[in-house]
A and B are shown apart, each in its own frame.
Chain A
Amino acid sequence: MMKKRNGLMNRLIRDKWLYIFLIPFLLWYVLFAYVPMYGLQIAFKDYNLFKGITESPWVGMEHFKTFFESPYFFRLLKNTIIISLMNLVFAFPLSVIFALMLNEVKNKWFKKTVQTVTYLPYFISIVVVTGIVTSFLAPSNGIVNIIIAKLGGEKQYFLMQKESFRWIYLLMNIWKDTGYNSIVYIAALAAVDSELYEAASIDGAGKLRQILHVSLPGILPTVIIMFILKLGTIMEVGYEAIILLYQPATYETADVISTFVYRTGLLEGKYDYATAVGLFNAVIALVLVLTVNHFSNRLAETGLW
């Protein structure tokens, strides 16, 4: 026993700088992740800012009931999950593929330029991006419809078609985020040992084989971790972009939890209700992350913990 404690002390003293560096981050987590959990109780209260958390009266599951009993609840849940899943299935791999492709570019100047250009849309305000989308897709003189008409097709009012909405939204997100999301993989690729490539090429592996058997396994842990983290945000489809793009005619495929809550006007000032919805989302996300992490640990032997 004594020996073990000594060992711990020794290690603490030996790595004291590392532990000191750790303190601010621990503090951050306590202050911004754990302390706010105290506030979660307002999901079960009739919260009034002036009365404060302790003084506000309990209302039990009132807010959850309001939310679940909405006649649109299942449609909202379905849309939220479908839009998130489409993002996960199409947009997520694209940033990995993009990073792998960029990694193969040997011309430094070209590589940097492409990286910067693809990275930029991320910083454009969503209001502007949706404005671009709306005018590109305008039925009379939008560029997309002009091309369609020139090719002999019929002009379409895309933003009013419920079948198109999710794809438009997905494509917009791909254009906006792929470059930015690929940064982490580009960084991971830089860390792959170059000797592995040499060894592979000596063994006669072509470019494609090198990518498949060296690059990809090299960044796989990063990919898996990013994937699990993404799952954690599956219920969080931001309302800004959707509110700016959807129409009553596309509600059926576009209306998600956050946009509906936004329309109820309950986001402003009604912190209790918003917290209840947030808590519900968080519980689903937690279950998903735990499940996937479990399987990932068993099958791929990597995971968040």
Chain B
Amino acid sequence: MKSTYKKMMKRAAVGILAVCCTVGFGGCNQTNETKDSVATEDKPYLISKEPLELSLFYLNYGYTFDEDNEVFQKAKEMTNISLKSVVSQSSSDAAQALNLMISSKNIADIVQYVESEPFIEYGNAGAFEDLNPLIDQYAPNIKKFFEEHPDIKKSAMSSDGKLYFIPMIADGKAAGGWFIRQDWLDKLGLQTPKNAEEFYAVMKAFKEQDPNGNGQADEIPYFSRTSEGNDGIWSMLILFNAYKDFYLDNGEIKYGPIQPEYKEAYKQIARWYQEGLIDPEIFTRGNNARDVLLENNLGGITHDWFASTAEYNNRLPETIEGFAFVPMTPPAGPDGVIRETETRQPLSGGGWGMSTTNKHKEETMKFFDFWFTEEGRRMANFGIEGKSYNMVDGKPVFTDFVLHNPELSPYSALSELGAQMYFGYWADFWYEEQWTNEIALKGIDEYVNNNYYTEQIPQFMIPDDIADTMQELSTQIETYNRETTQKWMLSGLDVEASWDDYIANMEKLGVEEYVKLMNQAYKDYLNR
């Protein structure tokens, strides 16, 4: 379904392209950070004396690269480097297009991809250049960035220390948080729940005391639009200090589903489900659960992304009197510690790299570096000065073209210009912050400033020789885990009584080896 949606977006974008007009380019920034021999006084970012065209493979969730986009046109003016897309305009399946190109061995100078795996796999086979030496020679800004963020570089490197791509780096720590109907709490004279017991009491009150006032017990206290198997209830595990997957505990990686906390968590959650406090249809309601349950004044609590969830406060109060769906502090675990497990990881997936057949490695590396200069990063994030943003007190502030565009959402407006694309640059959370509503920002601030976040397992590449084994183990372990947990919830199968069997079966499926391999890979990463 996601892909259809993206295709629609693409079509809409193409339609509007014609309306877009070109705008004079703003003046270049004065600071010259590259020790570049070609660069001149008035062209500090110049990379090549003669215009140079590099071929580019680019497909961002169905979007191909538009050579005329203003950001890259401006970059061309500044650097003398232009990019030529090799992907057919009608192409939308990135994996297929990439595989075709790789197997033809006729690889574009620059390859962009939204996942890291192909860079590692084909990099190891000799398709992509190891960028480490090139960065030292030609990319002072990237070098500086990696020196300041050594973890990000380590995360992007292959297990044998090669760097095959410059990652797209996300910014901002907050991802999702808890939301509750504050107006329901007020109506029933309740406080925001502080722990699992209070959470249960609030859900029960929502169910039984008719906060939506229609005389029926049709309220759905907890719901989630994440609905693949049991995923919708995963957010609740942390109320019991339990984890759905691997987590970091004092420098050691543990597997959540075999810990005693997991048993306690499911004992409670299964009971909550049986009592109707969790959406009975949580497994199949799907991605529009949030729309349906909030619009019909039925849903009480969820855990979801800040910005998009807070948006409902913009329009629903018109139809539902007093509607207030606000972020709440995560209820504390049994030990009184407040935890939030969902954060945004710096490595969003892929980025871009260069092929070994590229004949202009120096220029390509310098071009990669351009996007890590202050000016380049600003262009990649905010677009074109004077059109999409203006500098106010040293900060790029979006214009109405972005914030109040009659035809495009802020994000699409930026994409139109060629900003907020997907390639190797460092995102700036300030771009999102500017159109995130205040309710969400308040929640984000609370979560980030109080640092509710649990220690995250750093992102790292699992060495090839154990990756396949881990993949097999994880599939069979997860299959069994999901089956069992769903049975606990649905059939009221006694968690306590079946726990020993469950653990025995998990062991039979190789959970010990799975955890051991993961720890081994983690140690390898730490020693890298």
Contacts and interface: CB of A to CB of B under 8 A. Distances in A.
Contacts of B490: 157, 160, 249
B126 interface: yes
Nearest to A268: B95
B509 A138 contact: no
B4 to A, nearest CB: 7
A159 interface: yes
A139 B486 contact: no
A217 B403 CA distance: 71
A49 B508 contact: no
Interface stretch (B151-159, B234-242, B276-284, B449-457): B276-284
B487 A140 contact: no
Interface string B476-492: 10110011011100100
Interface in B117-167: 117-118, 121-122, 125-127
A263 B471 contact: no
Interface residues of A, number: 30
A134 B229 contact: no
B122 A48 contact: yes
B95 A269 contact: yes
A165 interface: no
Interface string A241-254: 00000011101100
Contact of B284 (A50, A247, A265): A247
A153 interface: no
B319 interface: no
A66 interface: yes
B99 interface: yes
Contact of B476 (A71, A139, A252, A266): A71
A266 B476 CA distance: 13
A248 B4 CA distance: 26
A113 interface: no
Nearest to A141: B281
Nearest to A246: B229
Tell me which of B121, B283, B284, B486 has the highest count of chain A C-beta atoms within 10 A of its own C-beta. B284
Interface in B237-271: none
Contact of B125 (A51, A248, A249): A51
A66 B283 CA distance: 31
Interface in B206-246: 229-230
A266 B118 CA distance: 14
A165 to B, nearest CB: 13
A220 B74 CA distance: 70
A72 interface: yes
Contacts of A269: 95, 99, 117-118, 121
Nearest to A161: B490
Contacts of B509: 71
Nearest to A252: B483
B471 A255 contact: no
A264 B479 CA distance: 10
A159 B284 contact: yes
B90 interface: no
A70 interface: yes
Contact of A265 (B126, B280, B471, B479): B471
A127 B7 CA distance: 15
A266 B471 CA distance: 8
B475 interface: yes
A129 B363 CA distance: 51
A204 interface: no
Contact of B508 (A71, A138, A252, A265): A71
Interface in A252-303: 252, 255, 260, 263-266, 268-269
A16 to B, nearest CB: 39
A255 B487 CA distance: 16
Contacts of B22: none
Contacts of A252: 483
A138 B279 CA distance: 12
A263 to B, nearest CB: 5
Contacts of B485: 248
Interface in A138-159: 138-140, 157, 159
Contacts of B486: 160, 247-249
A116 B133 CA distance: 65
A138 B471 CA distance: 34
Interface string A222-241: 00000000000000000000
B103 A263 contact: no
A52 interface: yes
7 contacts: A70-B472, A71-B508, A71-B509, A247-B284, A249-B283, A263-B475, A269-B99
| Across the A-B interface, the 8 shortest Cβ-Cβ residue pairs | A248-B482, A248-B486, A50-B125, A264-B475, A249-B486, A248-B229, A50-B127, A49-B102
